[in-house]
């Protein structure tokens, strides 16, 4: 048994460990590391894809997922994050949490005696990044020489994607409106992962010759009141056929979903031949299954 490992940010894994997780995700005969055991899935912030993909990943490893709604476990309202982590550690082999504030998953991990997985926070979405990397590797065979262009708000999805892409050696381009770009700290983290990141306010500059064009919604859950203002702010950042035509001939379009056709992406791109959004959606389940195998084998769960 090795030291307990958590997965709160994509760079909690080294490049070699990322490869091990992606390899585990591809296994069609995964070890049943959760046989007779449970995993608690705490949903302060609801999600159809995250719940379905993680519950099925747990089942495929022989385990029993227990999804817990926000009204059943009100973090820091009814009970502290620390006491919730200690309680759930009594019953489960692992804990997953989808929360608003990132510090809540950090506090859960600090108090838990089992691995904790960040299913999404306002700071990062590392499980999505694992699926992103898995899909890109499946599409191109390797990461060598590939360029990822993210167009839109530099949010939690973009941050995890950038750090994951940097870790595996891909080139990065980020196109955002002014005021939505990566911070100096974000740029330093990407450089620390071994990559430079082009930051521009021109989507065309980011898309030129890129292998992957990536988008997310302009207003995420919890930002609904800002949606109208953001539509104006992001005008000109829609990924349409003209923008895709600037990418490499074999480029693919990815989106973490849900997609708002006609806003961040045109329907002709989202549902077109270059789109791999449903392959990516399925890969959430496979990537998370690979992650759980990796974490639980190191926690003595195999």
- Selecting among 11, 153, 211, 216, the annotated active-site residue is 216
| 3-state secondary structure (DSSP) of residue 264 | coil
Residue 62 backbone class (left: φ over 0; alpha: ψ -120 to 50; beta: rest) = left
Task: Answer yes or no: 153 catalytic.
Answer: no
Task: Answer yes or no: 256 catalytic.
Answer: yes
- Residue 221: band (very low, low, confident or very high) from pLDDT cuts 50, 70, 90: low
Task: Answer yes or no: 51 catalytic.
Answer: no
Domain ranges within the chain, ordered by starting residue: 10-125+284-298, 128-281
- Selecting among 37, 92, 98, 180, the annotated active-site residue is 98
Task: Answer yes or no: 125 catalytic.
Answer: yes
Question: What is the distance between the alpha carbons of residues 292 and 59, in angstroms, rounded to a whole number?
Answer: 11
The per-residue pLDDT for range 241-273, each reduced to its tens digit, is 999 999 999 999 999 999 999 999 999 999 999
The contacts of residue 88 (CB under 8 Å, 6+ apart) are: 40, 42, 95, 112, 114
- Selecting among 6, 123, 125, 173, the annotated active-site residue is 125
- Selecting among 137, 256, 276, 286, the annotated active-site residue is 256
Pick one of 3.30.830.10, 3.40.50.300, 3.40.50.720, 3.40.50.1370 as the CATH number of 10-125+284-298: 3.40.50.1370
The reply to whether 128-281 shares the fold of 10-125+284-298 is yes
H or E stretch at 286: helix 277-298
User: Do residues 296 and 93 touch, judged by C-beta distance below 8 A?
Assistant: yes
Question: What is the distance between the alpha carbons of residues 182 and 130, in angstroms, rounded to a whole number?
Answer: 20
- Residue 261 β-bridge partners: 265
Q: What does DSSP assign to residue 28? A: S
Task: Answer yes or no: 122 catalytic.
Answer: no
The per-residue pLDDT for range 52-100, each reduced to its tens digit, is 999 999 999 999 999 999 999 999 999 999 999 999 999 999 999 999 9
Q: Compute φ and ψ for 68, nearest 5 degrees.
A: -125, 120
The per-residue pLDDT for range 190-219, each reduced to its tens digit, is 999 989 899 999 999 999 999 999 999 998
CATH topology of domain 128-281: Rossmann fold (3.40.50)
- Is 103 a residue whose pLDDT tops 90? yes
């Amino acid at each position: 048994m090795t030291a307990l490992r958590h997965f709160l940010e994509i760079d909690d894994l080294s490049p070699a460990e990322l490869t091990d997780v992606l390899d585990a995700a591809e296994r069609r005969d995964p070890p049943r590391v959760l046989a007779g055991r449970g995993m608690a899935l705490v949903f302060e912030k609801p999600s159809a894809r995250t719940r379905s993909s993680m519950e099925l990943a747990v089942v495929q490893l022989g385990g029993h997922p227990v999804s817990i709604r926000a009204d059943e476990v009100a973090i820091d309202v009814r009970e502290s994050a620390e006491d919730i982590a200690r309680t759930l550690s009594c019953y489960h082999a692992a804990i997953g949490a989808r929360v608003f504030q990132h510090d809540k998953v950090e506090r859960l991990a600090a108090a838990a005696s089992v691995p904790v997985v960040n299913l999404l926070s306002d700071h990062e979405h590392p499980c999505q990044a694992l699926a992103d990397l898995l899909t890109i590797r499946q599409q191109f065979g390797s990461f060598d020489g590939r360029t990822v262009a993210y167009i839109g708000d530099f949010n939690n999805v973009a941050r995890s994607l950038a750090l994951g892409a940097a870790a595996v050696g891909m080139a990065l381009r980020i196109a955002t409106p002014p005021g939505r770009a990566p911070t100096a700290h974000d740029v330093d983290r990407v450089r620390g992962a071994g990559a430079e990141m082009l930051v521009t306010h021109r989507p065309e500059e980011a898309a030129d010759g890129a292998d992957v064009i990536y988008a997310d919604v302009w207003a995420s859950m919890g930002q609904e009141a800002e949606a109208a203002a953001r539509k104006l702010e992001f005008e000109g950042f829609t990924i349409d056929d003209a923008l895709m035509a600037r990418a490499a001939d074999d480029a693919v379009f990815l989106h973490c979903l849900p997609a708002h056709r006609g806003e961040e992406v045109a329907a002709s791109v989202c549902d077109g031949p270059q789109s791999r959004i449903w392959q990516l959606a399925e890969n959430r389940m496979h990537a998370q299954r690979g992650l759980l195998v990796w974490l639980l084998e190191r926690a003595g769960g195999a």
